[in-house]
């Protein structure tokens, strides 16, 4: 019985069937722990209870577990239930080789793959077989249907279900299996009798060797035969041995020769020799080692384009001709002579193969926050393996990572050009950490850091906020200056990356659909040029010999790399693509090349992608981190959830009656306000701009929020009934976000940025004259203001002590004389009187009052929910804070600029946007990427 979608096998949830055959049924499934897609292979129901088949299934798992190679599909585990035994394997997207060949057939008949496409595939197949043979394992069922070719050109050999380990007790004998399927589907031949021994036919008719077809002893030379049959089919579009039924096909395998004239006329002589020696019917005359085939293929790469020997006079060309002669001589000889082996060892080594390896990180709710060092030796990423979100760094020469002290709450790390320092954002500042020692240094103030880049001249370009242009600052600190200006329809510039010349840089511009995309800007202030429409940021990778190698003296720029150009890599609709970038012309050239599918798509337009100047590429697959709005009581006991788990929920705010919640949700890169009412989730704002940080009015009739629909982040309100239009009630050149509404509905606190003082607290009257005024402006960062229920006090967080703490000040209604002008930039006196009290004692952010005003909640630096008793009267008197319970709140315990991720209902329940565990896939590292072979 087929597994239906939703069936669970351990942590794996079946989503669809993707294949069925005599050797098993294959399903797509989701690993609910790691949030990745996997393939699940189970035995067909007809034989699921057969002990011999179960034993073979177990053996397949053991065989796969013994193989670890980039061109062999990996095994993740073996799951057993009372009803099923299942192999959990790597899910390889893309067509199998039989589909790829079939698509090339034209109206006049079969057509093989072009030589420059077939040879890289064949080489990767040979490498996979070579790795298996070195482990003493033969495949015994190699065929196009068991070879997957991913969109980026990577080959994965599948289905070692008939593989056999060679050893003194194995006898190297063929083994029977179950009933087969139609020959037209390139079936595995099986016998109805579940027996083991010489004489049982095993394999696939069109690709099995003569000794295999006769039921004789087989060894690795059977795989070499099958490889030859597959390569012949790739080049010609037809099988070398075929027939109308199995008997006729087996007869052709045993008695007939391939029709060699079917091979294209341009097939190199060395490849023809490879095929002739692979398809020798007598195994004693056949090539004995697939490694010989791989060496010949390396030579064929050099001579795939026809050449006239008389013009091959340069030393490089003479070397290629010599290599071809040596390769053919090796293949024709019955055995390799010692001098020939010596020559091969002295010949130039072929380029190393492209490989992909996974870097497993601790849990993180910032899956896109990682960066390769320019020298390609280290990687830094954000993780919370010890319960606190911070930077971790790992040398690629080791298997362990180390947390970096002083980087708590870090986001968006990037490297210095000499790979000795790391830039990052935390606590409202751009910071720098030198790996040689010391503590992080603050370089500039930010509201939310959205990427930075560092050139060899000591200039850092960075994005200071959600709705801000790029700025520049010296790597040693100093005054920060605006670098870019918004064009028509643009609302934000983010995620810059310097090109090797240190003058030009890429960046992402958010805004209207006809202006959003990846741009090329310059330090000279020249007008930026859009390279491509996009909804994610991109990175630049120098190409080939011109790559900008980081120098030990400080990462000197490479003029050669700058002049030759390179590749623009970005994520397009979940697919990681690369396209040639002509830097001089500021234009993309040719067609995009696909590298990977289902790449993480976080909320703020970054790509889960990084490159090193040495040619390394790193990306992270899987969905973005998920979170779940969860209700807790004071003890930390979960009391239910609200809505579904999501990847882009932020900043929940509970209605005054406790029945509804407004929240930010991002869909396809656009952030809007959504409303959750019981089991119903509905969109509340519909503008194409970003609408952020919603808060309810005290009577529940309106919601205030920030929006950049007019270019800058201004304040709006909308009736919850849906009637009327949204009203803009505060507009200025600064970024503003709503913070708290007074219980009498008369005033609204909001945050406003200032280049000189970072973030300040302002108050806007909501009745009568709407002119806003300053509540608190200091050289420090004051944010997250919250009115007390009686309207007499304001709690807020400030970094005046060097770290964020929670403070309280009295609130006095602003007088007309204290009002600012409409720009919101007046330096008029604060509308406050009296003193200031510190509530938190060891760090704190995001204060929220209990509805009776007798307690103040906040988060400590490790994300625990805190509560401080409050006594008011003639004066303000805070009590000692206590820990209520630890949380897994999104963003952790430090303010990374994503706003408050919890709220308190009137009945005392606490709603927390809770990060779900185990939601980050490994970082995949591509080594020796060869894009020219993927076009």
Distance between CA atoms of residues 806 and 271, nearest Å: 74
* Those residues with Cβ within 8 angstroms of residue 184's Cβ, 6 or more apart along the chain or in another chain: none
Distance between CA atoms of residues 76 and 230, nearest Å: 28
> What CA–CA distances, in Å, run from 686 to 509, 674, 704, 898?
21, 10, 14, 21
Distance between CA atoms of residues 57 and 194, nearest Å: 14
Distance between CA atoms of residues 234 and 250, nearest Å: 20
Residue 212 tokens read as 């295999």
Tell me the pairing of strands 758-765 and 773-776: antiparallel
Residue 781 tokens read as 């960062």
Residue 126 tokens read as 């040979």
Where are the strands (E) in 499-565, listed by range? 504-511, 517-522, 529-532, 538-542
Helices 315-332, 269-278: inter-axial angle, 10-degree rounding? 20
Closest of 236, 226, 233, 240 to residue 188, by C-alpha: 226
> What values do phi and psi take at 553, rounded to 5?
-85, -5
Contact between residue 867 and residue 856 where contact means Cβ atoms under 8 Å apart: yes
Question: Residue 111 burial (CB < 10 Å; 0-12/13-18/19+)?
Answer: middle
The CA-to-CA distance between both ends of the chain, in Å, stands at: 42
The total number of residues shown for the chain amounts to: 935
> What values do phi and psi take at 651, rounded to 5?
60, 60
Distance between CA atoms of residues 426 and 412, nearest Å: 9
Distance between CA atoms of residues 923 and 935, nearest Å: 24
> What CA–CA distances, in Å, run from 424 to 494, 598, 660?
14, 27, 37
Please, what sign has the CA dihedral across residues 326, 331, 333, 339? positive
CA angle, residues 230, 282, 165, in degrees to nearest 5:
65
Please, what sign has the CA dihedral across residues 758, 761, 766, 768? negative
Contact between residue 194 and residue 176 where contact means Cβ atoms under 8 Å apart: yes
Please give the positions annotated as active site.
141
Sheet holding 421-426, edge to edge: 411-415, 421-426, 429-434, 441-445
Residue 292 tokens read as 């010989």
Q: DSSP letters along 36-104, please?
A: EEEEEEE--TTTTT-HHHHHHHHHHHHHHHT---TTB--EEEEEE-SS-EEEEEE---SEEHHHHHHHT
| DSSP label of 134 | H
Q: Which residues pair with 89 in a beta bridge?
A: 39, 75
* Those residues with Cβ within 8 angstroms of residue 390's Cβ, 6 or more apart along the chain or in another chain: 382, 383, 384, 403, 404, 407, 408, 409, 410
Closest of 290, 295, 291, 201 to residue 253, by C-alpha: 201
Q: Is residue 337 helix, strand or coil?
A: coil
> How many CB atoms lie under 10 A from the CB of residue 641?
13
């Amino acid at each position: 019985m087929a597994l239906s979608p939703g069936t669970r096998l351990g942590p794996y949830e079946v989503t669809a069937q993707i294949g069925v055959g005599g050797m098993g049924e294959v399903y797509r499934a989701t690993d609910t722990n790691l949030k990745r897609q996997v393939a699940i292979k189970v035995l067909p129901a007809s034989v699921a209870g057969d002990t011999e088949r179960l034993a073979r299934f177990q053996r397949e798992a053991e065989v796969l577990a013994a193989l670890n190679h980039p061109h062999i599909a990996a095994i993740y585990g073996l799951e057993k239930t009372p009803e099923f035994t299942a192999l959990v394997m790597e899910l390889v997207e893309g067509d199998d080789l039989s589909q790829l060949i079939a698509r090339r057939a034209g109206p006049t008949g079969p057509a093989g793959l072009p030589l420059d496409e077939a040879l890289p595939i064949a080489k990767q197949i040979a490498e996979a077989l070579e790795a298996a043979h070195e482990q003493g394992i033969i495949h015994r069922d190699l065929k196009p249907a068991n070879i997957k070719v991913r969109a980026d050109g990577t080959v994965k050999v599948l289905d070692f279900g008939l593989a056999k380990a060679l050893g003194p007790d194995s006898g190297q004998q063929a083994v029977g299996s179950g009933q087969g399927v139609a020959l037209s589907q390139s079936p595995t031949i099986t016998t109805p009798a579940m027996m083991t021994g010489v004489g049982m036919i095993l394999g696939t008719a069109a690709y099995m060797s003569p000794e295999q077809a006769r039921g004789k002893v087989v060894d690795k030379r059977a795989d070499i035969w099958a490889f030859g049959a597959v390569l012949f089919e790739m080049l010609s579009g037809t099988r070398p041995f075929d027939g109308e039924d199995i008997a006729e096909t087996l007869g052709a395998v045993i008695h007939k020769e391939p029709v060699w004239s079917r091979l294209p006329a341009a097939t190199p002589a060395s490849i023809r020799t490879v095929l002739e020696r692979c398809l020798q019917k007598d195994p004693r005359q056949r090539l004995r080692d697939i490694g010989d085939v791989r060496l010949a293929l390396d030579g064929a790469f050099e001579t795939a384009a026809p050449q006239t020997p008389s013009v091959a006079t340069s030393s490089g060309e003479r070397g290629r001709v010599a290599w071809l002669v040596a390769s053919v001589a090796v293949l024709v000889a019955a055995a390799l002579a010692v001098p020939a082996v010596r020559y091969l060892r002295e010949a130039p080594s072929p380029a190393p193969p492209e490989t992909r390896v996974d870097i497993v990180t601790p849990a993180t709710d910032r899956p896109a926050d990682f960066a390769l060092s320019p020298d390609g030796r280290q990687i830094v990423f954000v993780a919370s393996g010890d319960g606190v979100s911070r930077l971790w760094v790992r040398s690629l020469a080791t298997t362990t990572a180390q947390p970096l002290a002083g980087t708590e709450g870090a986001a968006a790390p990037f490297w210095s050009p000499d790979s000795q320092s790391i830039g990052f954002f935390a606590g409202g500042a751009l910071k720098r950490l030198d790996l040689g020692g010391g503590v992080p240094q603050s370089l500039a103030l930010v509201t939310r850091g959205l990427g930075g880049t560092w050139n060899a001249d000591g200039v850092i370009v960075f994005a200071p906020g959600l709705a801000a242009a790029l700025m520049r600052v010296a790597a040693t600190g100093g005054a920060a200056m605006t670098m870019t200006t918004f064009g028509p329809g643009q609302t934000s510039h983010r995620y810059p990356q310097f090109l090797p010349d240190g003058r030009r840089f890429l960046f992402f511009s958010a805004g209207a659909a006809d202006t959003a995309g990846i741009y090329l800007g310059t330090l000279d202030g020249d007008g930026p040029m859009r390279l491509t429409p996009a909804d994610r940021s991109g990175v630049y990778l120098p190409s080939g010999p011109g790559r900008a190698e980081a120098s030990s003296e400080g990462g000197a720029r490479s003029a050669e790399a700058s002049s030759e150009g390179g590749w623009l890599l970005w994520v397009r609709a979940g697919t990681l693509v690369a396209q040639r970038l002509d830097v001089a012309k500021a234009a993309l050239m040719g067609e995009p090349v696909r590298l990977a599918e289902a790449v993480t798509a976080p909320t703020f337009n970054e790509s889960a992608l990084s490159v090193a100047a040495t040619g390394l590429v790193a990306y992270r697959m899987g969905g973005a981190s998920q979170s779940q709005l969860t209700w807790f009581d004071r003890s930390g006991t979960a009391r239910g959830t609200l809505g579904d788990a999501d990847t882009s929920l932020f900043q929940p705010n509970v209605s005054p009656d406790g029945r509804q919640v407004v929240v930010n949700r991002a869909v396809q890169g656009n952030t809007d306000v959504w409303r959750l009412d019981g089991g119903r989730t509905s969109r509340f704002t519909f503008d194409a701009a970003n609408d952020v940080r919603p808060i309810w009015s005290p009577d529940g009739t309106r919601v205030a929020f920030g929006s950049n629909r007019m270019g800058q982040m201004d304040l709006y309100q909308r009736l919850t009934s849906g009637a009327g239009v949204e009203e803009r009630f505060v507009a200025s050149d600064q970024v503003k976000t709503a913070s708290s509404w007074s219980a009498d509905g008369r005033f609204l606190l909001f945050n406003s940025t200032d280049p000189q003082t970072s973030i300040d607290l302002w108050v806007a009257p909501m009745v009568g004259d709407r002119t806003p005024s300053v509540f608190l402006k200091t050289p420090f960062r004051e944010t997250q203001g919250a009115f007390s229920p009686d309207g007499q006090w304001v709690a807020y967080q400030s970094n005046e002590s060097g770290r964020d703490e929670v403070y309280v000040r009295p609130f006095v209604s602003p007088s007309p004389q204290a009002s600012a002008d409409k720009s919101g930039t007046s330096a008029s006196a604060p509308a406050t009187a009296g003193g200031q009290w510190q509530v938190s004692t060891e760090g704190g952010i995001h204060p929220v009052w209990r509805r009776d005003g007798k307690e103040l909640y906040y988060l400590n630096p490790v994300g625990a929910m805190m509560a401080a008793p409050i006594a008011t009267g003639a004066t303000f008197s805070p009590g000692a804070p206590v820990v209520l319970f630890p949380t897994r709140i999104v963003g952790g315990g430090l303010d990374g600029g994503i706003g408050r991720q919890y709220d308190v209902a009137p009945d005392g329940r606490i709603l927390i946007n809770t990060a779900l565990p185990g939601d980050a896939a490994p970082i995949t590292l591509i080594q020796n990427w060869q894009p020219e072979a993927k076009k």
